[in-house]
Amino acid sequence: MKRIAIDMDGVIADYLSKQLALFNRDHNENITVEDLKGKKLIELRPHLKDEIMNYLKEPSFFRDLEVMKDSQEVIKELSEHYEIFITTAAMEFPTSFTAKYEWLREHFSFLNDMNFVFCGDKSIINADYLIDDNVRHFKRFSGQGILFTSPHNVYETGYVRVNNWQEVRDYFLK
Protein backbone atom coordinates (compact mmCIF):
# COMPACT_ATOMS: atom_id res chain seq x y z
CA MET A 1 0.00 0.00 0.00
CA LYS A 2 1.36 3.42 -0.96
CA ARG A 3 1.94 6.00 1.76
CA ILE A 4 0.79 9.61 1.94
CA ALA A 5 2.41 11.91 4.49
CA ILE A 6 0.27 14.94 5.29
CA ASP A 7 1.46 18.10 7.00
CA MET A 8 -0.65 19.41 9.86
CA ASP A 9 -0.40 23.22 10.11
CA GLY A 10 -1.87 25.01 7.11
CA VAL A 11 -2.98 21.73 5.53
CA ILE A 12 -5.39 20.07 7.97
CA ALA A 13 -5.23 22.62 10.83
CA ASP A 14 -5.96 26.29 10.13
CA TYR A 15 -3.36 28.07 12.26
CA LEU A 16 -3.34 31.20 10.07
CA SER A 17 -6.87 32.38 10.96
CA LYS A 18 -6.10 32.17 14.67
CA GLN A 19 -2.68 33.79 14.28
CA LEU A 20 -4.17 36.69 12.31
CA ALA A 21 -7.03 37.16 14.77
CA LEU A 22 -4.65 37.31 17.74
CA PHE A 23 -2.23 39.59 15.93
CA ASN A 24 -4.96 41.98 14.75
CA ARG A 25 -6.44 42.10 18.25
CA ASP A 26 -3.12 42.69 20.01
CA HIS A 27 -1.74 45.22 17.52
CA ASN A 28 -4.96 46.98 16.54
CA GLU A 29 -4.51 46.00 12.89
CA ASN A 30 -6.81 44.57 10.24
CA ILE A 31 -4.49 42.33 8.21
CA THR A 32 -6.37 39.85 6.02
CA VAL A 33 -5.41 36.59 4.37
CA GLU A 34 -5.42 38.52 1.09
CA ASP A 35 -2.70 40.83 2.48
CA LEU A 36 -0.46 37.79 2.95
CA LYS A 37 -0.37 36.75 -0.72
CA GLY A 38 3.18 35.57 -1.34
CA LYS A 39 4.43 36.22 2.20
CA LYS A 40 4.10 35.23 5.82
CA LEU A 41 2.94 37.54 8.58
CA ILE A 42 6.54 37.88 9.83
CA GLU A 43 7.59 39.19 6.42
CA LEU A 44 4.76 41.74 6.49
CA ARG A 45 5.64 42.91 10.03
CA PRO A 46 9.32 41.95 10.55
CA HIS A 47 9.72 44.40 13.45
CA LEU A 48 7.15 42.29 15.37
CA LYS A 49 8.81 38.94 14.68
CA ASP A 50 9.17 37.99 18.36
CA GLU A 51 5.55 38.82 19.15
CA ILE A 52 4.33 36.83 16.13
CA MET A 53 6.49 33.81 17.02
CA ASN A 54 5.32 33.94 20.64
CA TYR A 55 1.78 33.03 19.56
CA LEU A 56 3.08 29.77 18.11
CA LYS A 57 5.25 29.09 21.16
CA GLU A 58 2.25 29.28 23.48
CA PRO A 59 1.65 25.63 24.56
CA SER A 60 -2.12 25.78 23.96
CA PHE A 61 -2.04 27.68 20.62
CA PHE A 62 -2.47 24.57 18.45
CA ARG A 63 -5.14 22.91 20.63
CA ASP A 64 -8.27 24.67 19.32
CA LEU A 65 -7.48 25.34 15.66
CA GLU A 66 -10.22 24.95 13.09
CA VAL A 67 -10.08 21.85 10.90
CA MET A 68 -9.47 22.62 7.22
CA LYS A 69 -12.66 22.18 5.19
CA ASP A 70 -13.22 18.62 3.90
CA SER A 71 -9.89 17.33 5.26
CA GLN A 72 -11.45 14.82 7.65
CA GLU A 73 -13.75 13.27 5.06
CA VAL A 74 -11.11 13.11 2.35
CA ILE A 75 -8.41 11.67 4.63
CA LYS A 76 -10.87 9.05 5.87
CA GLU A 77 -11.52 8.07 2.23
CA LEU A 78 -7.80 8.08 1.40
CA SER A 79 -7.10 5.84 4.40
CA GLU A 80 -9.12 3.09 2.71
CA HIS A 81 -6.63 3.05 -0.19
CA TYR A 82 -3.38 4.45 1.24
CA GLU A 83 -1.38 4.33 4.44
CA ILE A 84 -1.74 7.81 5.97
CA PHE A 85 0.81 9.58 8.17
CA ILE A 86 0.34 13.03 9.69
CA THR A 87 3.79 14.64 9.70
CA THR A 88 4.31 17.88 11.55
CA ALA A 89 7.60 19.74 11.94
CA ALA A 90 6.86 20.15 15.64
CA MET A 91 10.52 20.58 16.53
CA GLU A 92 10.13 24.22 15.46
CA PHE A 93 7.72 24.65 18.39
CA PRO A 94 8.46 21.90 20.94
CA THR A 95 5.88 23.32 23.37
CA SER A 96 3.22 22.36 20.81
CA PHE A 97 3.56 18.54 21.13
CA THR A 98 0.74 17.95 23.61
CA ALA A 99 -1.71 20.36 21.97
CA LYS A 100 -1.02 18.96 18.50
CA TYR A 101 -1.35 15.36 19.67
CA GLU A 102 -4.63 16.08 21.49
CA TRP A 103 -5.95 17.98 18.46
CA LEU A 104 -5.13 15.08 16.14
CA ARG A 105 -6.76 12.55 18.52
CA GLU A 106 -9.89 14.70 18.66
CA HIS A 107 -10.29 15.48 14.95
CA PHE A 108 -8.62 12.49 13.25
CA SER A 109 -9.41 9.72 15.73
CA PHE A 110 -9.99 7.30 12.83
CA LEU A 111 -6.21 7.35 12.18
CA ASN A 112 -3.78 5.24 14.16
CA ASP A 113 -1.92 7.60 16.48
CA MET A 114 1.23 5.58 15.76
CA ASN A 115 1.02 7.32 12.37
CA PHE A 116 1.40 10.79 13.91
CA VAL A 117 4.99 11.87 13.24
CA PHE A 118 6.49 14.78 15.16
CA CYS A 119 9.75 15.69 13.46
CA GLY A 120 12.02 18.44 12.22
CA ASP A 121 13.44 17.52 8.81
CA LYS A 122 10.72 15.74 6.81
CA SER A 123 13.24 14.12 4.45
CA ILE A 124 13.35 11.26 6.96
CA ILE A 125 9.73 10.41 6.12
CA ASN A 126 9.53 7.26 4.03
CA ALA A 127 6.39 7.95 2.00
CA ASP A 128 5.39 8.04 -1.65
CA TYR A 129 3.74 11.47 -1.34
CA LEU A 130 4.04 14.47 0.94
CA ILE A 131 1.22 17.04 1.03
CA ASP A 132 2.64 20.21 2.55
CA ASP A 133 2.25 23.99 2.32
CA ASN A 134 5.98 24.65 2.67
CA VAL A 135 8.20 23.81 -0.33
CA ARG A 136 11.32 23.55 1.85
CA HIS A 137 10.07 20.12 2.95
CA PHE A 138 10.21 18.85 -0.65
CA LYS A 139 13.90 19.66 -1.21
CA ARG A 140 15.25 16.39 0.20
CA PHE A 141 12.02 14.36 0.32
CA SER A 142 12.44 11.27 -1.88
CA GLY A 143 8.76 10.93 -2.89
CA GLN A 144 6.38 13.22 -4.77
CA GLY A 145 5.83 16.58 -3.10
CA ILE A 146 2.34 18.04 -3.46
CA LEU A 147 2.01 21.71 -2.59
CA PHE A 148 -1.12 22.60 -0.63
CA THR A 149 -2.04 26.18 -1.47
CA SER A 150 -1.62 28.72 1.31
CA PRO A 151 -1.32 32.51 1.01
CA HIS A 152 2.45 32.42 1.53
CA ASN A 153 3.07 29.94 -1.32
CA VAL A 154 0.76 31.27 -4.07
CA TYR A 155 3.68 32.33 -6.26
CA GLU A 156 5.65 29.07 -5.89
CA THR A 157 5.93 27.16 -9.17
CA GLY A 158 7.41 23.88 -10.27
CA TYR A 159 5.34 21.67 -7.94
CA VAL A 160 2.21 19.62 -8.23
CA ARG A 161 -0.35 21.87 -6.51
CA VAL A 162 -3.71 21.26 -4.84
CA ASN A 163 -5.88 24.18 -3.72
CA ASN A 164 -8.22 22.35 -1.34
CA TRP A 165 -9.18 18.91 -0.07
CA GLN A 166 -11.56 18.21 -2.96
CA GLU A 167 -8.57 18.54 -5.30
CA VAL A 168 -6.61 16.17 -3.05
CA ARG A 169 -9.47 13.66 -3.39
CA ASP A 170 -9.44 14.06 -7.19
CA TYR A 171 -5.65 13.66 -7.37
CA PHE A 172 -5.56 10.40 -5.42
CA LEU A 173 -8.96 8.78 -6.03
CA LYS A 174 -9.93 9.62 -9.62
pLDDT tens, position by position, 47-82? 999 999 999 999 999 999 999 999 999 999 999 999
Q: What integer pLDDT is reported at residue 78 of this predicted model?
A: 98
Statement to judge: residues 40 and 91 lie in one domain: no
Q: What integer pLDDT is reported at residue 96 of this predicted model?
A: 93
Q: Which residues lie below 8 Å from residue 69, measured CB to CB, with a gap of 6+?
A: 164, 165
Q: What integer pLDDT is reported at residue 149 of this predicted model?
A: 98
Residue 114, domain extent: 3-14+65-173
C-beta separation of 26 from 142 below 8 A: no
Residue 93 and residue 89: Cα distance in Å, rounded? Answer: 8
Statement to judge: residues 71 and 151 lie in one domain: yes
Task: Identify the band that residue 24 occupies on the pLDDT scale cut at 50, 70 and 90.
Answer: very high
Q: What integer pLDDT is reported at residue 90 of this predicted model?
A: 87
Statement to judge: residues 122 and 163 lie in one domain: yes
CATH number of the domain at 120, please: 3.40.50.1000
Statement to judge: residues 107 and 149 lie in one domain: yes
Residue 44 and residue 163: Cα distance in Å, rounded? Answer: 23
Statement to judge: residues 75 and 96 lie in one domain: yes
Query: How many domains does one find in the chain?
Result: 2
Task: Identify the band that residue 150 occupies on the pLDDT scale cut at 50, 70 and 90.
Answer: very high
Statement to judge: residues 118 and 86 lie in one domain: yes
* Residues marked as catalytic: 7, 9
DSSP codes, the chain: --EEEEESBTTTEEHHHHHHHHHHHHHT----TGGGTTS-HHHHSGGGHHHHHHHHHSTTGGGGPEEPTTHHHHHHHHTTTSEEEEEE-GGGSGGGHHHHHHHHHHH-TTS-GGGEEE-S-GGG---SEEEES-GGGGSS-SSEEEEEP-GGGTT--SSEEESSHHHHHHHHH-
Task: Identify the band that residue 17 occupies on the pLDDT scale cut at 50, 70 and 90.
Answer: very high
Closest Cα to residue 15, out of 49, 44, 40? 40
Statement to judge: residues 52 and 120 lie in one domain: no
Statement to judge: residues 21 and 91 lie in one domain: no
The model's pLDDT over 94-149, given as tens digits with 9 standing for 90+, comes to 999 999 999 999 999 999 999 999 998 899 999 999 999 999 999 999 999 999 99
